[in-house]
Amino acid sequence: MSLLNLTAKQLRTAADLIEEIAALEKQLAGITGTTSVPSTAPKAAQSAKPAKKGMSAAGRAKVAAAQKARWAKIKAAKAKTAPKPAVVKPAKKMGMSAEGKARIVAAQKARWAKIKAAKPAAKIAVKAVVAPKPAKKFVMSAAAKAKISAAAKARWAAKKAVPKA
Average pLDDT over residues 125-148: 77
Average pLDDT over residues 13-40: 83
Tell me, yes or no, if the pTM score tops 0.85.
no
Domain positions in the chain are 3-42
Question: What's residue 37's pLDDT?
Answer: 59
Average pLDDT, the chain: 82
Compute the distance between CA of residue 11 and CA of residue 24 in angstroms, rounded to an integer. Answer: 20
Which tens digits make up the pLDDT trace of 77-128? 888 776 666 777 777 777 888 899 999 999 999 999 998 888 776 565 555 5
Where does residue 40 rank: exposed (0-12), middle (13-18), buried (19+ CB within 10 A)?
Answer: middle
Q: Which residue has the higher pLDDT, 148 or 123?
A: 148
* Cβ neighbour number for residue 25 with a 10 Å cutoff: 17
1 has pLDDT over 60: no
